[in-house]
Every structure is written in C-alpha cells, then in structure tokens.
Amino acid sequence: MSEPLDKTADDADWPRNYFNYFTETEEHFQRARGTALFLLSPLDWALIESWKVSGVPLEAVLKGIDEAFEKWRSHRSKRRSINSVAYCAQAVLEVAKRIPLTTRSGQAASAPLFAVDELRLHLERSSSLLRQRPETPLQEVGGSLDRLSHDVDRYATDLESLEQKLTAMEEKVIAALRVSQSDEDLFAIRQALDRELKPYRGKMTADQLATLERRYIDRALLERANLPRLSLFYLH
C-alpha cells in the first residue's frame, strides 16, 4: 500500500484523516490514472498532507483530480502520463476556492471510524486464515491476532497502536512466505513484475522502483498464499 506519514497536527483527528483523506485521495488518483499499480511518491504524500492541514475539503481534492485529468485528456498530444498528484495541484486549489474550507472547530463529532465488531471480525478472519498454514511464524501471528481480538474494545479507540501492531505482523507473515517460496515461484512473480513495470521504469527513481518492486512482491506473495492484508487500510 502507501508510504507512512508523520503526524504533524491534531492527533485526535488522526484515525479519520489518516484512513479516509489520504487513502481516498490515493485511490481516486489511481482510478483517474487508470492503474492501481502506481504508488504515490513522498512528494505526493506531503502535498496531500498540506491540503489536509490547510482544511482543503476532500471533495475539492477529488474534483480537482478529475478536472486535471479531463484537461489532460483534452490535449491532442499526450506524450507523458500523469505520474504525480502534483500535476493536479493547481486544479485542486481552484476547486477549493469554490468550496468553503473546513474548520475543525466547526465540525460536529463524527461516528467512530470502525465499529468494534468490524475490527473483531477482521482480526478473527485473518487469524483463522493464518492458522490454516503450517508455517510456525504464521501460526504465531494467528495467535497474536486472537489476543488482539480479545482486547479489541481498547484498540477501537487507539487505532494508531493497532495499525502499528498489524503492520509489524504483516511484515512477519511476508518474511515467512518469502522463505517458503520456491525459486520458480519467485521467478514467476519477478517476471510478472517486470512486465507491469516496463512502461514506468524510465520515469521513476531507483528508490521508487525499489519500493514499488518490494510492495508488488509482498502483495503477490500474500495473494498466492490466499492470505489477507492485515492493515486497517484493507477493511474497506
């Protein structure tokens, strides 16, 4: 999924802003661009964060992205793809001028981002799938998820801690899957990756390519094993 962001403002707003504002912007940009493979850059995340902190409504961000792509598609010559949210920055700000900025002081209290039962079901389902695997590390993660589900009431009000724990567990799962894969399986994943990356290699830095490659392989390993993503990003 996406590069983690440093929280710089209003920790109380973190869960909703983190899981809605950023992910909806990312997913909307990917849909507009026509590919879910593309990962946003650190610059993109910083730009999105600046919009959030400034109170730019999510509606303005999404509409601005649409308007930027509509303008790009109207050009006769499209030699370059849109590879950054920064391309949409001017359109987003123009739309934001037509939509009143949000203010935290004027916002009504919102419902919890995830219901307790929803969190518990996510943890229990993930644990069940992991416990079906023979690898000891996956069994251990399944047990950890069971313990989290028993204490889910507390984590429902501390989503940041829960997300950090789930991220660490997912990394442990992926590490175990890498060890258990045959050379042939890893080669097949790499071949598929190279085919999909071919149009983008000349437009990305080495660091971006390395991040994209790592996350692509991680996703492929989980999909091949029929195992879930543990992060709360995948609850919706």
11-56 per-position pLDDT tens digit = 444 445 556 778 888 889 988 888 766 777 656 776 776 777 677 8
Same domain, 121 and 93: no
Same domain, 100 and 121: no
In this predicted structure, what is the pLDDT of residue 109?
41
Last residue of a domain, one of 38, 72, 106: 106
Mean pLDDT along residues 1-16: 44
Same domain, 97 and 121: no
In this predicted structure, what is the pLDDT of residue 124?
95
Tokens of 25: 């912007």
In this predicted structure, what is the pLDDT of residue 101?
55
Q: Which residues make Cβ contacts (< 8 Å) with residue 22, sequence separation at least 6? A: 2, 5, 45, 48, 49, 52
Query: Quick check: 131 pLDDT over 90?
Result: yes
Q: Which residues make Cβ contacts (< 8 Å) with residue 108, sequence separation at least 6? A: none
Query: Quick check: 154 pLDDT over 90?
Result: no
The domain of 96 spans 11-106
- Asked whether residue 3 is assigned to any structural domain, the reply reads no
Tokens of 213: 């490659």
Same domain, 121 and 70: no
Tokens of 192: 């598929």
> What percent of the chain has a predicted confidence (pLDDT) above 90?
22
- Asked whether residue 2 is assigned to any structural domain, the reply reads no
- Asked whether residue 144 is assigned to any structural domain, the reply reads yes
Residue with more model confidence, 193 or 148: 148
Could you tell me the pLDDT band of residue 78, with boundaries at 50, 70 and 90? low
In this predicted structure, what is the pLDDT of residue 105?
38
Q: Which amino acid is at 67?
A: E
